[in-house]
Amino acid sequence: MKKYGLIGYPLTHSFSKKYFSEKFEREGKRDCQYELYEIPEINQLPGLIASEKDLVGLNVTIPYKEKVIPFLDRLDPSCRAIGAVNCIKIREGQLVGFNTDYFGFKESLEKWLGKERPKALVLGTGGASKAVAEVLKDLGMDFLKVSRNAGIGDSVITYEQLYADKRILKDHLLIINTTPRGTYPNTGSMPDIPMDGLGNGHRVYDLVYNPEETLFMRAAAERGAATKNGMEMLHLQAEAAWNIWN
């Protein structure tokens, strides 16, 4: 039996088990199994690996995309540039980290934008934002990250600055939410940006996929913005992980 799984905490919002279980059944892979491994602390990973001898691949989600790196033996070169891991390949006791968020987001974004390359605001500075930022760099797109905390790096502004200077939102027509705000079960929350600054020239890409339409997406659409959720990216990154594992 080949085992695959997802580590994170909590895992109530995860689609991975359903996605891969259906994939295994559809493709007749009876020797494959996918499990959820909800670990409250990342230092429980070595014990999990030791106890699950059949594990050959793991997905990594919030809050461990960065915290997992010290527990790995190697990083894929492109993953090292991003500084976050969401996929681990396990072979002969070696754990190798990859980032399939990058591939999933890049393919999805290019399909959505076509030849457009607007300036972007990336909401959040966590693991997912690192993959998003690397994609924007590789596509030659100008962007700013938006954080709750001041002074955490270059090209980072605070949400307060967005409210203070309305030109920022006017000049950045692509808004990418990489935070978990609005994810089930906390569907009543959304990123705190000046929504009255959005219009029909804006695009809002919310990496949240559950629910399919977040409160943020709905509020943006009411102001004329085009919106997209993270489901396509999720499918693309899952298939990229499968290709890495196999």
| Domain stop point among 64, 98, 132 | 98
Confidence check: pLDDT of 154 > 90: no
The yes-or-no answer on residue 170 being catalytic is: no
Count of the separate structural domains present in the chain = 2
Determine the average pLDDT of the residues in 30-58.
97
Same domain flag for 118 and 224: yes
Same domain flag for 149 and 208: yes
The 10s digit of each residue's pLDDT in 104-149 is 999 999 999 999 999 999 999 988 999 999 999 999 999 999 999 8
Structural domain boundaries, residue 43 = 2-98
| 209 within some domain | yes
Determine the average pLDDT of the residues in 38-55.
97
What is the residue whose two structure tokens read 């076509």? 114
Query: Which residue among 3, 17, 29, 65 is the active-site one?
Result: 65
Please state the pTM of the whole predicted model: 0.89
Same domain flag for 131 and 31: no
Same domain flag for 52 and 121: no
Q: Quick one: tokens of 148? A: 């709750």
Confidence check: pLDDT of 13 > 70: no
| 226 within some domain | yes
What is the distance between the terminal CA atoms of the chain, rounded to a whole angstrom?
Answer: 14
Same domain flag for 71 and 113: no
Percentage of the chain lying above the pLDDT 90 cut: 90
Give strand pairing partners of 91. 94
Same domain flag for 221 and 123: yes
Q: What gap in Å lies between CA 217 and CA 222, rounded to an integer?
A: 9
| Domain stop point among 47, 80, 98 | 98
Q: Do you know the residue count of the chain?
A: 246
| 244 within some domain | no
Q: Are 12 and 185 in contact (CB under 8 A)?
A: yes
Q: What gap in Å lies between CA 127 and CA 75, rounded to an integer?
A: 15
| 175 within some domain | yes
Question: What is the CATH number for 53?
Answer: 3.40.50.10860
| 239 within some domain | no
Same domain flag for 125 and 81: no
The 10s digit of each residue's pLDDT in 61-78 is 989 999 999 999 999 998
